[in-house]
Amino acid sequence: MTTLTLSPPRAHGASSASSLAYQSLRVKPATIAWKDLTYDVKLTRANPQTGKKETIDKRILDGLSGIVRPGEMLAICGPSGGGKTTLLDAIAGRIDPNRKGRKFMGDVLVNGKLRDETFSMVASYVQQEHALQTPFTVKETMRYAADLLIPHSESTPEERRARAENVTHVLGLDSCSNTIVGDVFRKGLSGGQLRRLSIAVELVRNPSILLLDEPTSGLDSAAAENIMSHLSHLAKMGTTVVCTIHQPPSEVWANFDKFLLLSRGKCLYFGAAKNAVDYFSRMGYPCPSQSNPADFFLRLANTDFEGHADIELLAKLFKEEPEGMALTSALARPIEHAISPASHRNGFMTQLMILSHRAFFNNARNPGIFLVRLVMYIMLCLLMGFMFWNLGHGPTDINSRVALLFFVAAFLVFMSVAVLPFFIVERAVFLRERANGWYVVPAYVLASFFMSLPGLFIISLVSTILVVLPAGLNGFGVFLADLFLSLVTAEAFMCVIASVVPHYIIGIALGAAVYGFFMLCEGFMKVKNDIPDYFIWGYYMAFHTYSFRAFMVNEFEGIKYFDSPQFHNGKEVLVFYNMEDHAVWKDLLVVGGWAIGLQVLFGSILQVFHKGKR
Ligand SMILES: Nc1ncnc2c1ncn2[C@@H]1O[C@H](COP(=O)(O)OP(=O)(O)OP(=O)(O)O)[C@@H](O)[C@H]1O
């Protein structure tokens, strides 16, 4: 590993104690370079003159090149819509070039080699929106990150813990280490602390390259300055830092080594930040004294308002000026340091163990995932228990038993839609972690699946006790097994929905619609033989069918006598509902099979479609 010298901290929030902590953040050096990145998209819009729809090509990145070496911090600046985030995404490989209507060209090189799938082992990307698990404290979040990201074969638990604490300290999070991230139920960290924690979790494995999208947006100037000074220190310890920044205050500007000014996807300047004022002065745009240079450059680049520069001309001139030529010759020498082999990831079983541990406590402590649902089920089942108290064997009791079982199979399953918003929050965490190479998809899916089981079992057990005992239903064990498997399947179905919808409101609507249809088809509203041919596929497809039938057979098969002119025993009820001669265990197997099938589908959707590319 190349040793880099430690510069004394010059930042707010960086004491000499933390300067020692920074020393442990020395990284394996890596240079990142990009050459001629060009990105075109096809847009459909109404022609302003004719009003007719037409397709136009929009160039979002226009032949951009750059290079950032270990120990440097590059700020990508530009007006809103200038292409900053798109460039950062392009550098990180987060643009899907294969989507229809897109054309992406150019190369990204890491240490002189084309970026490949090992990129996430050397680079971390901190996105603008935080995506962290809400019930965990800063300390817990950092420990899980360290356990997941630092190879266990190369570290002891104590070393991982020490590293997590060190990064927490470096990013000034000691004072809130026992504060939870927070959510709609509970207040947690402030915006600035969340931003720092988002950076800290990625730093825990010492990424050689750190990419950050707008690390200071939404923060007050003191918090912004604090974060930028931390980043500047990291750069001084050898990390290659690239960040986009919308409008840096002058204190923040002072931290940049390199500066890239973008306008409409074109490069107006790339080079040493300290030389930018001279450069633009030479180009005929002197920065007024007492002005913040960053504000001045942004005014030049912002074509939405009066007073901007001639963008086409500046972009053309840059390539011909010494700064542009210096960039071209720097790109010809992509590496100026020794290259160390990249670290490796933890194995599947290690990932599974840590993710399972994390998922268990996340579920247990997230009120939306467990507690609120448990209370909902308890309340509803209490109502059901009292409503159907001590059912007998008269004609109306037959109806009540069937209706109660239908309600259990339909509505208790339906209530699983309540968990959808929390799954969508989880999806954002998964996307961030997967895109940064934290683990493989099967480890995540298996851990989430296994760890959902204890909570669902408790909900099923409590519900069974509150329904079966007061109502006097038969077959407690099978009822419990059927309800448990149905809820496991319903939850797997919600996972699938959460993985395909853009917003939880659409997910709830979609889930409700599918469940509504399955309820129609499950053999209660219409018995199987009466379901029209064109809907019979719904009967076979709905897992509700098998769940309801298992409840029915479990309940009625053993009843030898009914005091009713229509049905003399339970068997006759089953014949009426076309459910005779069905083995309960087979239906339970089908429901369980559905759960596994849906989990496999969920994992496949994550694997193929959720790579963190846009
Ligand atoms: N896939 C796409 N299809 C169509 N337009 C796109 C696509 N991706 C980006 N754009 C457009 O490209 C431009 C640059 O977007 P980008 O998000 O990179 O800007 P930005 O400089 O980061 O802006 P901001 O500071 O507001 O975040 C915008 O006009 C955006 O609408």
Ligand 1 pocket check for 81: Cβ under 6 Å: yes
Q: How far is the CA of 96 from the centre of ligand 1 (A)?
A: 14
- Predicted confidence (pLDDT) at residue 18 exceeds the cutoff of 60: no
Distance from C-alpha of 450 to C-alpha of 362, rounded to nearest angstrom: 13
- Predicted confidence (pLDDT) at residue 368 exceeds the cutoff of 90: no
Residue 303, pLDDT score? 80
Binning pLDDT at 50, 70 and 90, where does residue 9 land? very low
**At which residue do the structure tokens 């208790």 appear?**
412
Q: Which token pair is 421?
A: 């918003």
- Predicted confidence (pLDDT) at residue 335 exceeds the cutoff of 80: no
Ligand 1 pocket check for 83: Cβ under 6 Å: yes
Distance from C-alpha of 213 to C-alpha of 88, rounded to nearest angstrom: 7
Distance from C-alpha of 520 to C-alpha of 546, rounded to nearest angstrom: 14
Please choose, from the candidates 66, 44, 316, 391, the residue with its C-alpha nearest in 3D space to the C-alpha of residue 211: 66
Pairing verdict, β 209-212 and 123-126: parallel
Binning pLDDT at 50, 70 and 90, where does residue 342 land? low
Q: How far is the CA of 287 from the centre of ligand 1 (A)?
A: 28
pLDDT in tens, 436-472: 999 999 999 999 999 999 999 999 999 999 999 999 9
Residue 11, pLDDT score? 39
Q: Where are the domains of the chain?
A: 16-331, 367-609
HEC secondary structure over 428-474: HHHHHHHHCCCCCHHHHHHHHHHHHHHHHHHHHHHHHHHHHHHHCCC
Residue 544, pLDDT score? 96
pTM for the model stands at 0.87
Question: What is the number of the ligand 1 atom nearest to the C-alpha of 262?
Answer: 21
Residue to substitute in 40, 44, 56, 85 for testing ligand 1 pocket (most ligand atoms within 8 angstroms of CB):
85
Q: How far is the CA of 58 from the centre of ligand 1 (A)?
A: 11
- What is the CATH architecture of 16-331? 3-Layer(aba) Sandwich (3.40)
Please choose, from the candidates 267, 273, 264, the residue with its C-alpha nearest in 3D space to the C-alpha of residue 241: 273
Nearest CA to ligand 1 atom 26: 80
Residue 17, pLDDT score? 47
Residue 264, pLDDT score? 92
Contact 74, 256 (CB under 8 A): yes
Residues ≥6 apart with Cβ < 8 Å to 274: none
Question: What is the number of the ligand 1 atom nearest to the C-alpha of 83?
Answer: 18
Q: What does 151-217 look like in DSSP terms, one character per residue?
A: -GGG--HHHHHHHHHHHHHHTT-GGGTTSB---SSS----HHHHHHHHHHHHHTT--SEEEESSTTT
pLDDT in tens, 122-174: 899 999 888 999 999 999 999 999 999 999 988 899 999 999 998 898 888 99
Q: How far is the CA of 7 from the centre of ligand 1 (A)?
A: 37
Q: Which token pair is 600?
A: 């496999």
Q: How far is the CA of 54 from the centre of ligand 1 (A)?
A: 20
Question: Average pLDDT in the 352-369 region?
Answer: 93
- Predicted confidence (pLDDT) at residue 23 exceeds the cutoff of 80: no
Q: Which token pair is 512?
A: 């409700």
Nearest CA to ligand 1 atom 10: 60
Alpha-carbon distances, residue 253 vs 73, 77, 233, 256 (angstroms): 11, 10, 14, 6
- ipTM, two decimals, is 0.96
Q: DSSP state, 368? A: T
Residue 604, pLDDT score? 97
Lowest mean pLDDT among 6-20, 30-44, 194-208: 6-20
Contact 108, 90 (CB under 8 A): yes
Nearest CA to ligand 1 atom 1: 41
Residue 5: is it exposed, middle or buried by C-beta count within 10 angstroms (0-12/13-18/19+)?
A: exposed
Distance from C-alpha of 51 to C-alpha of 49, rounded to nearest angstrom: 6
Q: DSSP state, 391? A: -
Residue 383, pLDDT score? 97
22 or 544: which leads in pLDDT: 544
Distance from C-alpha of 131 to C-alpha of 61, rounded to nearest angstrom: 27
Ligand 1 pocket check for 94: Cβ under 6 Å: no
Ligand 1 pocket check for 84: Cβ under 6 Å: yes
* CA dihedral of residues 39, 44, 45, 50 (deg, nearest 10): 120
pLDDT in tens, 382-422: 999 999 999 999 999 999 999 999 999 999 999 999 888 88
Ligand 1 pocket check for 69: Cβ under 6 Å: no
- What's the chain's Rg over C-alpha atoms? 30
HEC secondary structure over 89-139: HHHHCCCCCCCCCEEEEEEEEECCEECCCCHHHHEEEECCCCCCCCCCEHH
Binning pLDDT at 50, 70 and 90, where does residue 336 land? low
Report how far apart the first and last C-alpha atoms of the chain are (Å, whole number). 35
- Predicted confidence (pLDDT) at residue 613 exceeds the cutoff of 80: no
- Provide the mean pLDDT of the chain: 89
Q: How far is the CA of 91 from the centre of ligand 1 (A)?
A: 15
- Predicted confidence (pLDDT) at residue 319 exceeds the cutoff of 70: yes
Helix (H) / strand (E) containing 35: strand 32-46
Ligand 1 pocket check for 60: Cβ under 6 Å: yes
| Residue 246: φ, ψ to 5° | -75, -60
Ligand 1 pocket check for 41: Cβ under 6 Å: yes
